[in-house]
Amino acid sequence: MKDKAPLSSFRISRRALLRGLAHLGLVLALSVPLATSHAAEPSKEDLKNAAPRVQLPPVHEHDRCPVCGMFPARYHEWLATIEFKDGTAVHFDGAKDMFKFWLNMKKYDTKGHTQKDVKAIGVTGYYATEMIDARKAWYVIGSDVLGPMGHELVPHPDLYDAKEFMKDHHGKAIVRFDDVDMQLLKGLDEGRFIVHGKELK
C-alpha cells in the first residue's frame, strides 16, 4: 500500500482557508440571512491595474535578510525578493525590510547595487500567497495582522483585496509603492502609522 504523503506536503492558501472558514460559519449560523453573508462583488475600478504574478529566483534555506539577518525561507507567506540584472537576488522576511533595503541600498547591499540595477521586485500577496509585482501592489498598514518583524505593509494584488483586508483587520491606510518612505517604515517599527508625514490614529 502506498504511503500517505506527510501533512507538511499539503499547502493551502490563506484565501482558500478563509473561504472554508466562512463556509463553516454559514453552516453553523443558519439564522443569519444568506444575503448578509456575502461581500459585495469587486468593481472594475477595484480590479483595475492589478499587480501581476512574477517569477523570481527561489529563496534558499541559507539565505539571510540583509536588513534584519533572519532567514526568509522560514516565512514563505511574507517573502519579498529583489532580483538584479546581473542575475543575483536578495530575499526578505517581509515587505517592510524590502522597502528599507530599496530606500537605502548603500547601507544594506554589500555588492554595491543601486536601484538602477534592479530587474524586478516581488512581494507575497496576503490571501493567495503568490509572488506579485511589488511596484504595482496595494499595501495595508496599521492592521491587527503582524509579520515576522511586527507591524507590516501587507501586500495585495488589487484594491478589492486591500479594502476587504483593511475592513476585516482594522487597517489604518492603503498605500502604494511610491508612498513608502523611511518615515513610514520607522513608524511601523514603533507601532505608529505615518503616511506622507501625517500620523494616523
pTM: 0.81
CB atoms within 10 A of CB 171: 21
| Burial class of residue 58 in the structure, from the number of CB atoms within 10 Å of its CB (0-12 exposed, 13-18 middle, 19+ buried) | exposed
User: DSSP class of residue 101?
Assistant: H
Q: How far apart (Å, rounded) are the C-alpha atoms in residues 194 and 196?
A: 7
Sign of the alpha-carbon dihedral angle for 61, 6, 147, 173: positive
Q: Which long-range contacts (CB under 8 A, 24 or more apart) does 105-113 make?
A: 108/66, 108/67, 109/66, 110/66, 113/84
Q: Is 174 in contact with 139 (CB distance < 8 Å)?
A: yes
Q: Provide the residue-wise pLDDT of the chain in tens; the chain has 201 residues.
A: 444 444 434 345 565 555 554 444 433 333 333 332 335 678 878 887 899 999 999 999 999 999 999 999 999 999 999 999 999 999 999 999 999 999 999 999 999 999 999 999 999 999 999 999 999 999 999 999 999 999 999 999 999 999 999 999 999 999 999 999 999 999 999 999 999 999 998
Residue entry with cell 547595487: 113
Amino acid residing at 75: Y
Q: Which stretches does DSSP call E strand in 46-169?
A: 80-84, 89-92, 118-124, 131-133, 138-141, 146-147, 150-151, 154-156
**In the chain, domain spans:** 47-200
**Which residues fall within 8 angstroms of residue 35, CB to CB, at 6 or more apart?**
none
Q: Is 91 in contact with 59 (CB distance < 8 Å)?
A: yes
Residue entry with cell 512581494: 123
